[in-house]
Amino acid sequence: MKRNLFSLILVMGSLLGCVHMTSNTNTWIMDDGSMELTPEYTVQHVQGQPYSDVYTAFTFISQKKLVRLRSGDDITVNGHVLQGMAHTQGYYYQARIPVTEGTFTFMLTRAPSRTMTHSFELPVLGIRELPKTYRPYETLRVPVEYVEPPQYVKDAYDLPIYGPSLRFTLVSTTRRKDNHYQFGRLPEIQDDAIVFRNITERAPQPGEYRAEIHRQHRIVLNEMSGASRTGWATLTHTLPFTIEVK
Domain presence at residue 89: yes
At 48, is the secondary structure helix, strand, or coil?
Answer: coil
Domain presence at residue 63: yes
Q: Between vectors from CA 241 to CA 239 and to CA 242, what angle results, nearest 5°?
A: 160
Residue 3 has pLDDT above 70, yes or no: no
Domain presence at residue 139: yes
pLDDT at 10: 40
Answer with the one of 121, 145, 177 that is the final residue of a domain: 121
Tell me how far apart the alpha carbons of residues 118 and 105 are, in angstroms, rounded to a whole number: 6
Domain presence at residue 2: no
Domain presence at residue 187: yes
Co-location of 17 and 97 in the same domain: yes
pLDDT at 76: 98
CB 37 within 8 A of CB 73: no
Q: What is the CATH number of the domain that holds 117?
A: 2.60.40
User: How many domains are contained in the chain?
Assistant: 2
Domain presence at residue 161: yes
Co-location of 175 and 101 in the same domain: no
pLDDT digits (tens, 9 = 90+) for 151-204: 999 999 999 999 888 899 999 975 555 555 556 789 999 999 999 998 887 888
Of 30-34, 120-124, 225-229, the one with minimum mean pLDDT is 225-229
For the chain, give the mean pLDDT. 86
Dihedral of CA 6/10/13/14: which sign?
positive
Answer with the one of 121, 142, 171 that is the final residue of a domain: 121
The pTM assigned to this predicted structure is 0.86
Co-location of 91 and 22 in the same domain: yes
CB 42 within 8 A of CB 3: no
pLDDT at 203: 85
Residue 7 has pLDDT above 90, yes or no: no
CA 79 to chain centre: 21
Answer with the one of 98, 121, 144 that is the final residue of a domain: 121
What percentage of residues in the chain have a pLDDT greater than 70?
A: 85
Residue 21 has pLDDT above 50, yes or no: no
Domain that holds residue 167: 133-213+240-245
Q: Between vectors from CA 208 to CA 202 and to CA 211, what angle results, nearest 5°?
A: 70
Buried b (16+ CB within 10 A) or exposed e, 137-172: eeebbbebebeebeeebbbbbbbbbbbeeeebbbbb
pLDDT at 199: 82
Co-location of 90 and 148 in the same domain: no
Tell me how far apart the alpha carbons of residues 54 and 201 are, in angstroms, rounded to a whole number: 33
Domain presence at residue 4: no
